[in-house]
């Protein structure tokens, strides 16, 4: 069993180092840029156990739970420790959240945005580099800290090392001696631990023969909340051998080689794993998912989607078609971002597992 610091403990350590906290909405953003400017990123993927009344007042009923819960969390004081709120333009819902925060809610903290191109041509790379420069300027105005090129490159290399460790955990899942819930809790510690702490934690994960009980599944989607999903999956007679989750494996950025730090950060963000929120071609993504399933022996793909997540939904029909043609099974379920999973959802997953047995 690993000991992972809580978010509150990390905030306290950050303060003791004289640094600041950035609350960051999903999915892709330049961690190294934040760290070099003295901000520890604390990602906000909901959270699920929050009353959504306040958030509901600001968004249409068909807005996803991440945006409604995160806004409620902010309004309830859950992000009080943050010195800045960073909102990447992941989707229309998050773009809408940034506008609502800036124009209506006007939180105490400044709101910084970053626009991510949906392709990786040289014009897109140039655009993203300009975006990163714009964000750097905003962060420097807030923190009063302008890192040198060397400091920025050191932060980039530290994040690359943490991503390598994350990649090793994902690639060698079968050798990590942790149950599914503990394993994904470890991967998700990357959402709030400083890179150097995550590296240490990942290296201390118990190695040996990992759990291989029951039907092997691969899980896809944005975020597996609430985390007792994994307990349910295990009780149904299945286990998770790989993931295509936005909060985990879709952020296995490759280490870069450019000597310019902004070029290197842009290359990493645009060259990451295929992801519908980055506009990745569906056929390429479907082939990559099928290949990963074959590689890790997954018998089925569980697409576990936050309700009303448009980028995910766009891919579902063609993903299903391609996997079916490849002889692979897929179940798509949607869930409300709450503290418990609906019985109907669990029943559908259970029936899927039974079918695969
Ligand atoms: S769940 Fe989907 S729609 Fe909601 S913020 Fe994430 S990517 Fe956007």
Question: Looking at residue 237, which CATH number applies to its domain?
Answer: 3.40.50.11900
Residue 65 beta carbon below 6 angstroms from any ligand 1 atom: no
237-271 tens-digit pLDDT: 999 999 999 999 999 999 999 999 999 999 999 99
* Structural domains in the chain (count): 1
Residue 277 beta carbon below 6 angstroms from any ligand 1 atom: yes
Alpha carbon nearest to ligand 1 atom 2, residue? 309
325-347 tens-digit pLDDT: 999 999 999 999 999 999 999 99
Residue 197, domain member (yes or no): no
Of 43, 46, 310, the one to substitute when testing ligand 1's pocket (max ligand atoms within 8 A of C-beta) is 310
Residue 276, domain member (yes or no): yes
pLDDT band at 212 (very low <50, low <70, confident <90, very high): low
Residue 342, domain member (yes or no): yes
Mean pLDDT for 75-86 is 97
Residue 338, domain member (yes or no): yes
Residue 91 beta carbon below 6 angstroms from any ligand 1 atom: yes
| Percent of all residues in the chain with a pLDDT value above 90, rounded to a whole number | 97
User: Which range, of 206-210, 228-232, 266-270, averages the lowest pLDDT?
Assistant: 206-210
Residue 290 beta carbon below 6 angstroms from any ligand 1 atom: no
Alpha carbon nearest to ligand 1 atom 1, residue? 309
Share the mean pLDDT of the chain.
96
Residue 202, domain member (yes or no): no
Mean pLDDT for 315-323 is 96
Which range of residues forms the domain containing residue 63?
9-149+211-357
Residue 218, domain member (yes or no): yes
Residue 164, domain member (yes or no): no
Distance of CA 323 to the CA centre of its chain: 24
Q: Find out whether 212 and 240 touch, Cβ atoms under 8 Å.
A: no
Separation between Cα atoms, residue 176 and residue 173, nearest integer Å: 5
Separation between Cα atoms, residue 59 and residue 128, nearest integer Å: 28
Q: Residue 46 in 3-state DSSP?
A: coil
Q: Residue 266 in 3-state DSSP?
A: helix
Separation of CA 301 and ligand 1 centre (Å): 20
- For residue 204, which of 186, 231, 223 has the smallest C-alpha distance? 186
Residue 94 beta carbon below 6 angstroms from any ligand 1 atom: yes
pLDDT band at 45 (very low <50, low <70, confident <90, very high): very high
Residue 318, domain member (yes or no): yes
């Amino acid at each position: 069993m690993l000991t992972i610091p809580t978010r509150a403990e990390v905030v306290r350590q950050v303060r003791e180092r004289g640094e600041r906290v950035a609350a960051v909405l999903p999915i892709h953003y330049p961690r190294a840029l934040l760290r070099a400017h003295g901000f520890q990123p604390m990602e906000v993927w909901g959270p699920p156990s929050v009353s959504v009344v306040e958030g509901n007042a600001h968004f249409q009923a068909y807005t996803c739970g991440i945006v409604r819960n995160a806004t409620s969390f902010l309004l309830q004081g859950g992000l009080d420790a943050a010195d800045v709120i960073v909102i990447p333009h992941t989707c229309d819902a998050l773009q809408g959240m940034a506008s609502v925060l800036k124009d209506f809610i006007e939180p105490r903290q400044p709101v910084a945005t970053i626009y991510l191109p949906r392709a990786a041509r040289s014009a897109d790379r140039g655009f993203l580099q300009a975006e990163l420069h714009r964000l750097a300027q905003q962060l420097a105005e807030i923190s009063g800290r302008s890192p040198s090129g060397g400091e920025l490159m050191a932060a980039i290399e530290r994040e690359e090392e943490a991503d390598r460790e994350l990649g090793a955990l994902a690639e060698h899942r079968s050798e990590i001696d942790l149950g599914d819930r503990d394993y994904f809790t470890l991967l998700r510690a990357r959402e709030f631990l400083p890179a150097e702490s995550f590296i240490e934690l990942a290296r201390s994960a118990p190695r040996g023969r990992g759990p291989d009980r029951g039907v092997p599944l691969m899980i896809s989607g944005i975020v597996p909340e609430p985390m007792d999903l994994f307990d349910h999956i295990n009780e149904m007679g299945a286990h998770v051998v790989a993931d295509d989750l936005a909060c985990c494996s879709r952020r296995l950025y490759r280490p870069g080689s450019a000597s310019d730090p902004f070029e290197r950060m842009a290359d990493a963000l645009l060259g990451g794993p295929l992801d519908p929120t980055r506009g990745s071609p569906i056929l390429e993504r479907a082939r990559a998912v099928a290949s990963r399933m074959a590689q890790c022996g997954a018998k089925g793909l569980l697409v576990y989607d936050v309700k009303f997540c448009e980028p995910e939904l766009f891919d579902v029909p063609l993903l299903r078609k391609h996997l079916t043609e490849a002889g692979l099974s897929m179940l798509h379920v949607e869930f409300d971002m709450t503290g418990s999973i609906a019985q109907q959802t669990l029943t559908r997953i259970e029936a899927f597992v039974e079918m695969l047995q």
